Structure 1
Amino acid sequence: MNFKDIIAEHPYLSVKHGHLHLEGVDLVEAAKTHGTPLFVVSETYLRKNIQHYKQQFEKYWPEGNVKVLPSVKANPNIAIRKIVDSEGAGCDIFGASELECAIRAGVKGENISVNGSIKDNNIINKSISIGATIILDSPKELDLCIEESRKLNKKANILLRLKPYIKDLDDNSDFLPSAQIKQLTQTIKYGIPTTEVMVMVETLKGCNDVNLLGVHIHMGRHSKKLQVWQQLIAAYTNLIKQLSIKLDGWNPKVVNFGGGFAASLDRETRVAVTDYPTPTVEDYAKSITSAFRDNMNAHGLTTKDILIEVEPGRATHNQTGLHLTSVKNIKHEAINIEHTWAEVDTSEVFLSIMGVNPTPPFDFVVASKPDSIVEDCLDIVGSTCNAEWIFEQVMVPKLIEGDVIALLNTGAYVEPMAANFNALPRPGMLLVSDDKSFMIKRHETVDDVFQRDIIPPYI
């Protein structure tokens, strides 16, 4: 795919005056002003994604309300979270630190879904205090909710995170192609084992310390095939029916379908298999709501006034972000082999990739030369003491020191996974809004890298 085609796929990229622009911001000038490597996020794209998810699920769910809860972990930044919140979306948080991100962003408790394994008294107490919904991951967490509710004299709002067994599904996972989805959804840690859910029901009967609002699942990005999602929903409603029977006709007020929706271009580093058709948001909304409605009705359960929740993390964020890096050196070998390397100032450890990549893990555009003739074949390599094959044998214009390269589709899970290998300070983040830009996370410094080190007094 050439640069022109790549740019055409992205609604907020354009070429003006010989430079690549995101919204109205010149990315080459942004690189010069703020330094590279640099993560960049489009505010307009982010807002449009959230609006689109809400509109499509509302279109196919007339029975009740819809809440979109983009996961904080996809891009745990306070400014980003404020933007998400201003669109009326809530947030799925995992653990105490992400809860703090939501609180610092001013998210109201009723819009916070508190996920995470091994929750302790502190996070449960704080969650109850602010009126957040706690997603139980084990029987122990129910005991803690009861304990902290009594201390606060305030009921805990809870959902049970279930692990539906999709017994008739034989598809393998896009994440781990060697394993079946039905096996992974049972063996991956998150969720309450069904054996333990059925024991918890006895505690929930007549319990006045918690509000059992509903249920939660999270398959994750194991598949984008709609029939897989439909089978997941069928297994989910089977469990809801069992709970209803054991709880004397209980019906959920809230049903959360989790995340795992593919971004529209479905290009990212963390999924092994992406090379088959990607559903639209409308496809997901129609398929999931229809399957849920039909299966609930088949079980004699009502869907009237049920609030449904969805947690699009990568689908919300992935294509809103890009990563800028500058060419620092060109090396060429002509005696032993014919080979050229463009050394850039970013690293695989900033980009959530590792080792030799047989295909480019990102679409990229030479931001300083998006219209130039593509004439050289070379490796683009990063800055650490690793192999650092970010791109192997790709076609580019004639590169020189100072050229700026934009790596696309880095908005989800990439920046939060950045590491300090070789004691490298991690990159900052720039928010682009129309023709303006704002740093929303400063570049880390060498002092930051070493600030936690402690020298014992005897050394």
Structure 2
Amino acid sequence: MLGKKEINEHGHLVIGGCDVVQLAQEFGTPLYLFDETLLRENMRFYRQSFERLYPDYAVAYASKAFICSAMCRMVAEEGLFLDVVSGGEYYIARSSGFPADRIIFHGNNKTAQERELVLREGIGRWVVDSEAELEVLIEEAKNYRNGKLPLLFRLTPGIDPHTHQYITTGKIDSKFGLPIVGGVAREVMKKALAFPQFELRGVHCHIGSQIDSLEPFLKACEVMLEFMFQFWKETDFLLEELDLGGGLGVPYLDEQKDQFPSISEYVEAITGKVRAWCEEHSFPLPRLIVEPGRSIVNTAGNTVYRVGTVKEIPGIKKYVAVDGGMTDNPRPVLYGARYQALVANRMHDRSRERVSVVGKCCESGDVIIPEIELPRVLPGDILVVEGTGAYNHTMASNYNMIPRPGVVFVKDGKAKLVVRPESLSDLIRRDVLPGD
């Protein structure tokens, strides 16, 4: 089992001290379920690891992994920064009370409405993604109400982390960032130095997601530090911040638990590399920023389903259909993501059968787990798919006009509804009938 789970006297799965079967009855299914204690522990692991190893740092939670108002408030309480990539994420953060000066604003195509919102409300760091964006900001930032606009520049360091092509973002051929090769990034940043409305703080990169080794991160450190060093020599301007983005991978299956570096191993590796490089080149230690998302939320999250139809094709396959699917978890369709599951109401059942767990959408590709051994599954059983904390809630859709699930945080035997499940009436809330 992934995360912190127990089994009670009824043979039911327990998460955060709560009986999952009872939660399914109380809140309905499908349901996103998060262990709040584990969420907070993962945030603290990052902070405590940096505190031991590096003098000046910031940990910014990447909200695209999972965001809601309660999550933003928790991140603020744990002393982290917040990474947002849209006006919507920024709006949720600010509406929850998250301080603007601890928000980092990303995006390769920030719209006029988004730029206006952030420039009006304030921002901790604005990440410039292209020369075209800088040209727009030259005019718009003149009206920034909070002094100089603090900038990071996103660079593409030309590193392939060997992860899925859709989540590789640091190669030269990318829609994100300014290429280091050919001097593109250098010239754009030198241009920014000429404008008093800007405060150049440093550089940013993000090489990809679900990375299973430390080598790509260490290579990124070297490339980015070399750029900062050369920029200093050429311009006599010291960039004081290095943001390495996120990307640390996590296990989705029990068999993968030893395949990924831990949070502490990751922090030890990058801080060690930065310290050693800076000492060797007599370069001042930069403020080090990281933007973890998946490694904070994924294992803490689970999706609870109720089994409906069980269909067996003799000699071929047995299908177990649940009351959700690609609408609440599109990752198997998008990335071929793999998951494991538990029958929450019969955790002591040792019988085994090989089945395919599928969703209810009108798509043959709506398959959550193509093949898995489970106890004999019956209609009405409560099935829990583990490790769904990252990118499930945020990617959920209303395909087939299926309402999106609610979100519940559990801790010390208490459950809190933090996102209500959509109702049928929510599906037509934005509809307009012409003539009415």
- Which amino acid is 2:288 matched to? I
Q: How does 1:350-429 map to 2 (within 5 A)?
A: 350-354=328-332, 361-387=338-364, 388-429=366-407
Q: Do the aligned residues in 2 keep the contact of 1:12 with 1:45 (CA within 8 Å)?
A: no
Specify the SS of the correspondent of 2:79. coil
Q: Do the aligned residues in 2 keep the contact of 1:326 with 1:402 (CA within 8 Å)?
A: yes
Q: How does 1:126-205 map to 2 (within 5 A)?
A: 126-128=117-119, 129-152=121-144, 154-166=147-159, 173-176=162-165, 185-194=171-180, 195-205=183-193
- Which amino acid is 1:378 matched to? V
Change (3 A) 1:357 1:165: closer
Task: Identify the match of residue 409 of structure 2 among 431, 434, 442.
Answer: 431
Q: How does 1:228-247 map to 2 (within 5 A)?
A: 228-247=216-235
Specify the SS of the correspondent of 1:21. strand
- Identical columns (%): 26
1:210 Cα offset (Å): 1.1
CA distance in 1, matches of 2:78, 2:412: 17
Number of corresponding residues? 430
Tell me which residue corresponds to 1:271: none
Change (3 A) 1:14 1:54: farther
1:394 Cα offset (Å): 2.7
Tell me which residue corresponds to 1:115: 106
1:147 Cα offset (Å): 2.3
Give the TM-score taking structure 2 as reference length.
Answer: 0.91
Tell me which residue corresponds to 2:214: 226
Change (3 A) 1:393 1:121: closer
Q: How does 1:317-336 map to 2 (within 5 A)?
A: 317-334=297-314
2:256 is the alignment partner of 1:255: no
Specify the SS of the correspondent of 1:185. coil
Tell me which residue corresponds to 2:291: 311
- Which amino acid is 1:186 matched to? I
Change (3 A) 1:377 1:197: closer
Change (3 A) 1:237 1:357: closer
CA distance in 1, matches of 2:67, 2:335: 27
Specify the SS of the correspondent of 2:274. helix
CA distance in 2, matches of 1:361, 1:277: 15
Specify the SS of the correspondent of 1:445. coil
Stretch of structure 1 that moved more, 222-231 or 322-331: 222-231
Specify the SS of the correspondent of 1:162. strand
1:234 Cα offset (Å): 0.9
CA distance in 2, matches of 1:256, 1:81: 21
2:323 is the alignment partner of 1:345: yes
Specify the SS of the correspondent of 2:72. helix
CA distance in 1, matches of 2:194, 2:80: 33
Q: Do the aligned residues in 2 keep the contact of 1:266 with 1:278 (CA within 8 Å)?
A: no
CA distance in 1, matches of 2:233, 2:64: 35
CA distance in 2, matches of 1:88, 1:43: 16
- Which amino acid is 2:261 matched to? P
Q: Do the aligned residues in 2 keep the contact of 1:342 with 1:380 (CA within 8 Å)?
A: yes
Change (3 A) 1:119 1:380: closer
CA distance in 1, matches of 2:161, 2:204: 23
1:206 Cα offset (Å): 4.2
Task: Identify the match of residue 55 of structure 1 among 24, 48, 55.
Answer: 48
CA distance in 1, matches of 2:363, 2:331: 11
- Which amino acid is 1:191 matched to? G
- Which amino acid is 1:137 matched to? D
1:276 Cα offset (Å): 7.5
Q: Do the aligned residues in 2 keep the contact of 1:14 with 1:20 (CA within 8 Å)?
A: yes
Change (3 A) 1:131 1:374: same
CA distance in 2, matches of 1:187, 1:357: 20
Tell me which residue corresponds to 1:84: 75
Tell me which residue corresponds to 2:89: 98
1:122 Cα offset (Å): 4.3
1:12 Cα offset (Å): 4.2
Specify the SS of the correspondent of 1:118. coil
2:33 is the alignment partner of 1:40: yes
1:19 Cα offset (Å): 0.5
Specify the SS of the correspondent of 2:283. coil
CA distance in 2, matches of 1:418, 1:21: 25
**Once the two structures are superposed, what CA deviation does each residue of 1:216-235 show, in whole Å capped at 9, x if it has no partner?**
11112263322222112111
CA distance in 1, matches of 2:198, 2:405: 43
CA distance in 2, matches of 1:57, 1:83: 19
Specify the SS of the correspondent of 1:348. coil
1:331 Cα offset (Å): 2.7
Tell me which residue corresponds to 1:211: 199
Specify the SS of the correspondent of 1:323. strand
Specify the SS of the correspondent of 1:319. coil
Question: What are the ranges of 5 or more consecutive residues in structure 1 without an aligned counterpart?
Answer: 1-5, 269-273
Change (3 A) 1:451 1:126: closer
CA distance in 2, matches of 1:83, 1:18: 32
1:449 Cα offset (Å): 2.2
CA distance in 2, matches of 1:52, 1:19: 30
Tell me which residue corresponds to 1:10: 3
CA distance in 2, matches of 1:206, 1:353: 44
Stretch of structure 1 that moved more, 385-394 or 324-333: 385-394
Question: What are the ranges of 5 or more consecutive residues in structure 2 without an aligned counterpart?
Answer: none
Tell me which residue corresponds to 1:443: 421
1:119 Cα offset (Å): 2.1
Give the TM-score taking structure 1 as reference length.
Answer: 0.86
**Once the two structures are superposed, what CA deviation does each residue of 1:37-75 show, in whole Å capped at 9, x if it has no partner?**
1111111010000000111122221xx322111111100
Q: Do the aligned residues in 2 keep the contact of 1:121 with 1:144 (CA within 8 Å)?
A: no
1:134 Cα offset (Å): 0.5
Task: Identify the match of residue 22 of structure 2 among 29, 34, 56.
Answer: 29
